[in-house]
Amino acid sequence: MITTAEKQDIRKLSLDEMKAFFVAHGEKEYRAKQVYEWIWMKAARDFDQMTNLSLATRELLKENFSFRLLHIDRMQRSADGTIKNAVKLHDGLVVESVLIPHERRITACVSSQVGCSLDCKFCATARLKRMRNLSVDEIYDQVVAIRDQAQLFFGRPLTNIVFMGMGEPLLNYSNVIGAIEKITSQNGLNFASRRITVSTVGIARMIRKMADDDVKFNLAVSLHAALNDTRSSIMPINESNRLQDLADALRYWYSRTKRKVTYEYVVWEGINDSPEHAAALLKFCKVIPCKVNLIEYNTIGDDTFRQASEEVIQSLMQLLERNGITTRIRRSRGKDIDAACGQLANKSG
Protein backbone atom coordinates (compact mmCIF):
# COMPACT_ATOMS: atom_id res chain seq x y z
CA MET A 1 0.00 0.00 0.00
CA ILE A 2 1.44 3.37 -1.02
CA THR A 3 0.81 6.18 1.45
CA THR A 4 -0.52 9.51 0.26
CA ALA A 5 2.78 11.26 0.86
CA GLU A 6 4.60 8.81 -1.42
CA LYS A 7 2.00 8.72 -4.15
CA GLN A 8 2.88 10.57 -7.26
CA ASP A 9 0.89 13.65 -8.13
CA ILE A 10 -1.25 12.56 -11.07
CA ARG A 11 -0.80 15.95 -12.67
CA LYS A 12 2.92 15.42 -13.09
CA LEU A 13 2.18 12.77 -15.77
CA SER A 14 2.19 13.54 -19.45
CA LEU A 15 -0.51 12.04 -21.61
CA ASP A 16 1.96 9.44 -22.87
CA GLU A 17 3.02 8.48 -19.35
CA MET A 18 -0.60 8.07 -18.42
CA LYS A 19 -1.20 5.85 -21.44
CA ALA A 20 1.78 3.72 -20.44
CA PHE A 21 0.40 3.43 -16.92
CA PHE A 22 -2.98 2.17 -18.12
CA VAL A 23 -1.46 -0.29 -20.59
CA ALA A 24 0.88 -1.61 -17.90
CA HIS A 25 -2.16 -2.22 -15.68
CA GLY A 26 -4.09 -4.06 -18.36
CA GLU A 27 -6.45 -1.18 -19.11
CA LYS A 28 -7.35 0.45 -22.38
CA GLU A 29 -5.07 3.22 -23.57
CA TYR A 30 -7.93 5.67 -24.21
CA ARG A 31 -8.58 5.85 -20.47
CA ALA A 32 -5.55 8.14 -20.35
CA LYS A 33 -7.26 10.75 -22.50
CA GLN A 34 -10.37 10.59 -20.35
CA VAL A 35 -8.37 11.11 -17.19
CA TYR A 36 -6.32 13.83 -18.82
CA GLU A 37 -9.47 15.69 -19.78
CA TRP A 38 -10.85 15.39 -16.27
CA ILE A 39 -7.70 16.83 -14.82
CA TRP A 40 -6.93 19.62 -17.25
CA MET A 41 -10.15 20.48 -19.04
CA LYS A 42 -12.72 19.86 -16.32
CA ALA A 43 -10.35 20.73 -13.48
CA ALA A 44 -11.34 17.65 -11.47
CA ARG A 45 -9.91 17.58 -7.96
CA ASP A 46 -10.84 14.08 -6.93
CA PHE A 47 -10.83 10.69 -8.68
CA ASP A 48 -14.49 10.14 -7.77
CA GLN A 49 -15.46 13.05 -10.00
CA MET A 50 -14.30 10.98 -12.99
CA THR A 51 -17.68 9.44 -13.54
CA ASN A 52 -16.99 7.87 -16.92
CA LEU A 53 -14.40 5.57 -15.33
CA SER A 54 -15.42 2.34 -13.62
CA LEU A 55 -15.13 2.09 -9.87
CA ALA A 56 -12.25 -0.35 -10.31
CA THR A 57 -10.36 2.08 -12.51
CA ARG A 58 -10.88 4.88 -10.05
CA GLU A 59 -9.59 2.62 -7.27
CA LEU A 60 -6.53 1.80 -9.36
CA LEU A 61 -5.82 5.51 -9.73
CA LYS A 62 -6.40 6.20 -6.04
CA GLU A 63 -3.96 3.44 -5.09
CA ASN A 64 -1.22 4.90 -7.22
CA PHE A 65 -1.71 8.64 -7.39
CA SER A 66 -2.76 11.65 -5.40
CA PHE A 67 -3.87 15.18 -6.18
CA ARG A 68 -1.51 17.77 -4.81
CA LEU A 69 -3.89 20.63 -4.44
CA LEU A 70 -3.21 24.19 -3.75
CA HIS A 71 -5.83 26.10 -1.88
CA ILE A 72 -6.69 29.71 -1.41
CA ASP A 73 -5.63 30.52 2.09
CA ARG A 74 -6.94 34.04 2.10
CA MET A 75 -8.90 36.11 -0.36
CA GLN A 76 -9.00 39.92 -0.14
CA ARG A 77 -11.20 42.22 -2.17
CA SER A 78 -10.22 45.75 -2.99
CA ALA A 79 -12.65 48.65 -3.14
CA ASP A 80 -12.03 48.70 -6.93
CA GLY A 81 -13.08 45.05 -7.29
CA THR A 82 -9.57 43.59 -7.53
CA ILE A 83 -9.21 40.26 -5.74
CA LYS A 84 -5.94 39.06 -4.26
CA ASN A 85 -5.47 35.42 -3.41
CA ALA A 86 -2.87 34.09 -1.04
CA VAL A 87 -2.40 30.64 -2.47
CA LYS A 88 -1.03 27.94 -0.19
CA LEU A 89 1.04 25.30 -1.95
CA HIS A 90 1.23 21.68 -0.86
CA ASP A 91 4.50 22.33 1.00
CA GLY A 92 3.05 25.25 2.94
CA LEU A 93 4.72 28.03 0.94
CA VAL A 94 2.48 30.85 -0.21
CA VAL A 95 2.31 32.78 -3.48
CA GLU A 96 -0.13 35.46 -4.55
CA SER A 97 -2.31 35.83 -7.59
CA VAL A 98 -4.65 38.63 -8.52
CA LEU A 99 -7.93 39.02 -10.42
CA ILE A 100 -8.23 42.45 -12.03
CA PRO A 101 -11.67 43.38 -13.34
CA HIS A 102 -11.95 45.94 -16.14
CA GLU A 103 -15.01 47.17 -17.93
CA ARG A 104 -14.70 44.69 -20.74
CA ARG A 105 -11.95 42.36 -19.55
CA ILE A 106 -11.04 40.26 -16.57
CA THR A 107 -7.33 39.69 -16.15
CA ALA A 108 -5.58 37.06 -14.05
CA CYS A 109 -2.13 38.04 -12.81
CA VAL A 110 -0.27 34.89 -11.81
CA SER A 111 2.98 34.04 -10.07
CA SER A 112 5.69 31.83 -11.54
CA GLN A 113 8.07 31.48 -8.58
CA VAL A 114 7.89 31.62 -4.81
CA GLY A 115 9.84 34.81 -4.16
CA CYS A 116 12.28 36.10 -6.75
CA SER A 117 16.04 36.12 -7.29
CA LEU A 118 16.33 39.34 -9.25
CA ASP A 119 16.53 41.98 -6.55
CA CYS A 120 14.91 44.87 -8.44
CA LYS A 121 15.17 47.73 -5.98
CA PHE A 122 11.60 48.95 -6.37
CA CYS A 123 9.78 45.63 -6.04
CA ALA A 124 8.43 44.13 -2.83
CA THR A 125 8.72 40.55 -4.08
CA ALA A 126 12.50 41.03 -4.37
CA ARG A 127 12.72 41.19 -0.59
CA LEU A 128 11.51 37.61 -0.28
CA LYS A 129 14.41 35.95 -2.13
CA ARG A 130 13.67 33.08 -4.40
CA MET A 131 12.47 29.95 -2.61
CA ARG A 132 11.54 27.72 -5.54
CA ASN A 133 9.96 27.49 -8.94
CA LEU A 134 6.27 26.77 -9.25
CA SER A 135 5.30 23.57 -11.02
CA VAL A 136 3.09 23.41 -14.10
CA ASP A 137 0.01 22.54 -12.08
CA GLU A 138 0.68 25.24 -9.47
CA ILE A 139 0.68 27.85 -12.22
CA TYR A 140 -2.30 26.29 -13.97
CA ASP A 141 -4.32 26.09 -10.76
CA GLN A 142 -3.92 29.80 -10.06
CA VAL A 143 -5.55 30.45 -13.42
CA VAL A 144 -8.37 27.99 -12.79
CA ALA A 145 -9.07 29.53 -9.37
CA ILE A 146 -9.30 33.02 -10.90
CA ARG A 147 -11.42 31.79 -13.78
CA ASP A 148 -13.87 30.41 -11.22
CA GLN A 149 -13.80 33.66 -9.23
CA ALA A 150 -14.50 35.64 -12.41
CA GLN A 151 -17.67 33.62 -12.91
CA LEU A 152 -18.65 33.62 -9.27
CA PHE A 153 -18.13 37.29 -8.48
CA PHE A 154 -18.60 38.95 -11.86
CA GLY A 155 -20.58 36.45 -13.91
CA ARG A 156 -18.07 36.91 -16.70
CA PRO A 157 -15.33 34.79 -18.24
CA LEU A 158 -11.64 35.31 -17.69
CA THR A 159 -10.30 37.12 -20.77
CA ASN A 160 -6.58 37.78 -20.18
CA ILE A 161 -3.68 36.23 -18.31
CA VAL A 162 -0.50 38.08 -17.40
CA PHE A 163 2.60 36.54 -15.85
CA MET A 164 3.26 39.59 -13.73
CA GLY A 165 2.88 38.15 -10.26
CA MET A 166 5.74 36.96 -8.13
CA GLY A 167 8.90 35.70 -9.78
CA GLU A 168 10.65 35.85 -13.11
CA PRO A 169 8.80 33.63 -15.60
CA LEU A 170 11.79 33.18 -17.89
CA LEU A 171 13.83 31.71 -15.04
CA ASN A 172 11.17 29.02 -14.68
CA TYR A 173 10.78 28.68 -18.40
CA SER A 174 9.85 25.05 -18.89
CA ASN A 175 7.11 25.09 -16.26
CA VAL A 176 5.71 28.39 -17.51
CA ILE A 177 5.63 27.03 -21.04
CA GLY A 178 4.12 23.76 -19.78
CA ALA A 179 1.38 25.66 -17.98
CA ILE A 180 0.68 27.86 -21.03
CA GLU A 181 0.46 24.75 -23.19
CA LYS A 182 -2.20 23.33 -20.88
CA ILE A 183 -4.00 26.66 -20.59
CA THR A 184 -4.19 26.99 -24.38
CA SER A 185 -4.72 23.33 -25.23
CA GLN A 186 -8.06 22.05 -26.38
CA ASN A 187 -7.73 19.42 -23.67
CA GLY A 188 -7.06 22.20 -21.19
CA LEU A 189 -8.73 25.59 -20.91
CA ASN A 190 -8.71 26.28 -24.65
CA PHE A 191 -7.59 29.84 -23.92
CA ALA A 192 -6.25 32.02 -26.76
CA SER A 193 -2.46 32.48 -26.68
CA ARG A 194 -2.75 36.06 -27.87
CA ARG A 195 -4.55 36.90 -24.65
CA ILE A 196 -1.58 35.77 -22.57
CA THR A 197 1.35 38.06 -21.75
CA VAL A 198 4.62 36.99 -20.21
CA SER A 199 6.47 39.83 -18.51
CA THR A 200 10.21 39.58 -18.04
CA VAL A 201 12.99 41.59 -16.60
CA GLY A 202 14.58 41.01 -20.02
CA ILE A 203 16.82 37.97 -19.98
CA ALA A 204 18.34 38.11 -23.45
CA ARG A 205 19.16 34.44 -23.95
CA MET A 206 15.66 33.39 -22.90
CA ILE A 207 14.02 35.91 -25.23
CA ARG A 208 16.01 34.28 -28.05
CA LYS A 209 14.88 30.87 -26.87
CA MET A 210 11.25 31.94 -26.88
CA ALA A 211 11.67 33.20 -30.43
CA ASP A 212 13.20 29.85 -31.44
CA ASP A 213 10.34 28.04 -29.75
CA ASP A 214 7.93 30.05 -31.85
CA VAL A 215 5.73 30.97 -28.91
CA LYS A 216 2.41 32.65 -29.66
CA PHE A 217 1.85 34.72 -26.54
CA ASN A 218 2.76 38.37 -25.97
CA LEU A 219 6.04 39.57 -24.58
CA ALA A 220 6.40 42.44 -22.13
CA VAL A 221 9.75 43.71 -20.92
CA SER A 222 10.19 45.63 -17.68
CA LEU A 223 12.51 48.28 -19.03
CA HIS A 224 12.27 51.15 -16.50
CA ALA A 225 15.42 52.78 -17.90
CA ALA A 226 17.10 52.82 -21.29
CA LEU A 227 20.48 53.99 -19.98
CA ASN A 228 22.74 51.21 -18.68
CA ASP A 229 23.99 52.94 -15.55
CA THR A 230 20.54 53.82 -14.30
CA ARG A 231 19.09 50.47 -15.20
CA SER A 232 21.90 48.59 -13.46
CA SER A 233 21.42 50.65 -10.32
CA ILE A 234 17.76 49.73 -9.99
CA MET A 235 17.76 46.31 -11.72
CA PRO A 236 20.94 44.31 -10.99
CA ILE A 237 20.11 41.89 -13.83
CA ASN A 238 21.23 44.67 -16.18
CA GLU A 239 24.84 44.10 -15.17
CA SER A 240 24.90 40.76 -16.96
CA ASN A 241 22.16 41.60 -19.49
CA ARG A 242 23.15 44.95 -20.93
CA LEU A 243 20.67 46.98 -22.93
CA GLN A 244 22.62 46.19 -26.11
CA ASP A 245 22.16 42.44 -25.47
CA LEU A 246 18.50 43.03 -24.76
CA ALA A 247 18.13 45.05 -27.98
CA ASP A 248 19.83 42.29 -30.00
CA ALA A 249 17.61 39.65 -28.47
CA LEU A 250 14.53 41.74 -29.21
CA ARG A 251 15.59 42.19 -32.85
CA TYR A 252 15.89 38.43 -33.06
CA TRP A 253 12.49 38.02 -31.38
CA TYR A 254 10.86 40.34 -33.89
CA SER A 255 12.58 38.78 -36.88
CA ARG A 256 11.25 35.37 -35.87
CA THR A 257 7.81 36.13 -34.44
CA LYS A 258 6.82 39.45 -36.01
CA ARG A 259 5.25 40.30 -32.69
CA LYS A 260 5.51 43.70 -31.04
CA VAL A 261 6.91 43.98 -27.55
CA THR A 262 5.44 46.04 -24.73
CA TYR A 263 7.83 47.98 -22.51
CA GLU A 264 6.91 48.66 -18.93
CA TYR A 265 8.31 51.86 -17.52
CA VAL A 266 7.64 53.40 -14.13
CA VAL A 267 8.68 57.05 -14.06
CA TRP A 268 10.50 57.94 -10.85
CA GLU A 269 11.42 61.41 -9.81
CA GLY A 270 15.15 62.04 -10.10
CA ILE A 271 15.87 58.49 -11.28
CA ASN A 272 14.66 57.99 -14.85
CA ASP A 273 12.62 61.11 -15.59
CA SER A 274 15.20 63.44 -17.16
CA PRO A 275 15.19 64.53 -20.83
CA GLU A 276 18.22 62.24 -21.41
CA HIS A 277 16.23 59.30 -20.12
CA ALA A 278 13.28 60.24 -22.29
CA ALA A 279 15.53 60.47 -25.36
CA ALA A 280 17.13 57.11 -24.52
CA LEU A 281 13.71 55.51 -24.10
CA LEU A 282 12.57 56.89 -27.43
CA LYS A 283 15.72 55.54 -29.09
CA PHE A 284 15.19 52.13 -27.52
CA CYS A 285 11.63 52.15 -28.81
CA LYS A 286 13.01 52.25 -32.35
CA VAL A 287 14.75 48.88 -31.90
CA ILE A 288 11.63 46.92 -32.86
CA PRO A 289 7.93 47.81 -33.12
CA CYS A 290 6.64 48.31 -29.61
CA LYS A 291 4.12 49.80 -27.24
CA VAL A 292 4.91 51.49 -23.95
CA ASN A 293 3.00 51.16 -20.70
CA LEU A 294 3.87 53.87 -18.23
CA ILE A 295 3.01 52.13 -14.98
CA GLU A 296 1.96 53.97 -11.90
CA TYR A 297 4.40 53.37 -9.06
CA ASN A 298 3.12 51.46 -6.08
CA THR A 299 5.01 52.34 -3.02
CA ILE A 300 6.70 49.51 -1.17
CA GLY A 301 7.35 51.41 2.00
CA ASP A 302 10.62 53.26 1.48
CA ASP A 303 11.24 56.66 0.01
CA THR A 304 14.07 55.99 -2.42
CA PHE A 305 11.46 55.77 -5.14
CA ARG A 306 8.83 58.41 -5.70
CA GLN A 307 6.61 58.62 -8.72
CA ALA A 308 7.35 61.52 -11.02
CA SER A 309 4.76 64.28 -11.30
CA GLU A 310 1.76 63.98 -13.58
CA GLU A 311 3.24 66.68 -15.88
CA VAL A 312 6.48 64.75 -16.36
CA ILE A 313 4.58 61.56 -17.11
CA GLN A 314 2.26 63.34 -19.54
CA SER A 315 5.13 64.98 -21.37
CA LEU A 316 6.94 61.65 -21.71
CA MET A 317 3.77 60.15 -23.09
CA GLN A 318 3.39 63.00 -25.56
CA LEU A 319 6.99 62.68 -26.72
CA LEU A 320 6.50 58.97 -27.40
CA GLU A 321 3.12 59.45 -29.06
CA ARG A 322 4.46 62.24 -31.28
CA ASN A 323 7.03 59.77 -32.48
CA GLY A 324 4.44 57.16 -33.31
CA ILE A 325 4.83 54.96 -30.23
CA THR A 326 1.52 53.84 -28.73
CA THR A 327 1.73 54.75 -25.07
CA ARG A 328 -0.68 54.07 -22.23
CA ILE A 329 -0.64 55.13 -18.64
CA ARG A 330 -1.51 52.14 -16.50
CA ARG A 331 -3.26 53.14 -13.34
CA SER A 332 -2.82 50.89 -10.39
CA ARG A 333 -5.45 48.52 -9.18
CA GLY A 334 -5.87 46.91 -5.81
CA LYS A 335 -3.46 49.20 -3.97
CA ASP A 336 -5.50 49.16 -0.77
CA ILE A 337 -4.91 45.42 -0.41
CA ASP A 338 -1.27 45.45 -1.61
CA ALA A 339 -2.30 43.65 -4.77
CA ALA A 340 -0.79 46.11 -7.25
CA CYS A 341 2.34 45.48 -9.37
CA GLY A 342 5.40 45.08 -7.23
CA GLN A 343 3.47 44.82 -3.98
CA LEU A 344 3.08 41.06 -3.84
CA ALA A 345 5.01 39.99 -0.81
CA ASN A 346 2.86 37.78 1.36
CA LYS A 347 2.07 40.37 3.94
CA SER A 348 -0.83 38.20 4.95
CA GLY A 349 1.32 35.11 5.25
**Binding region for ligand SAH (CB under 6 A):** 122-123, 164, 168, 199-201, 222, 264, 266, 295, 297-298, 300, 341-342
Alpha-carbon distance 328 to 291, whole Å? Answer: 8
Nearest of 207, 208, 213 to residue 193 by alpha carbon: 213
User: In this complex, which beta carbon is closest to ligand SAH, that of residue 50 or of residue 337?
Assistant: 337
Alpha-helix residue ranges (DSSP H) falling in 228-336: 228-234, 243-257, 275-284, 310-322
User: In this complex, which beta carbon is closest to ligand SAH, that of residue 69 or of residue 312?
Assistant: 312
Mark whether 29 is an active-site residue.
Answer: no
Write down the least CB distance from residue 261 to ligand SAH, Å: 12
Alpha-carbon distance 92 to 74, whole Å? Answer: 13
Q: Is there a contact between 139 and 112 (Cβ–Cβ < 8 Å)?
A: yes
User: In this complex, which beta carbon is closest to ligand SAH, that of residue 199 or of residue 257?
Assistant: 199
φ, ψ (nearest 5 deg) of residue 94: -125, 135
Alpha-carbon distance 339 to 133, whole Å? Answer: 21
Write down the least CB distance from residue 199 to ligand SAH, Å: 4
Write down the least CB distance from residue 291 to ligand SAH, Å: 13
Alpha-carbon distance 63 to 65, whole Å? Answer: 6
Write down the least CB distance from residue 65 to ligand SAH, Å: 33
Write down the least CB distance from residue 74 to ligand SAH, Å: 21
Mark whether 341 is an active-site residue.
Answer: yes
Select which of 116, 120, 285, 341 is catalytic. 341
Q: Is there a contact between 274 and 229 (Cβ–Cβ < 8 Å)?
A: no
Start-to-end Cα distance in the chain: 36
Select which of 96, 138, 168, 264 is catalytic. 96
Q: What angle do CA 296, 300, 305 make, to 5 degrees?
A: 65
- Catalytic residue ranges: 96, 341
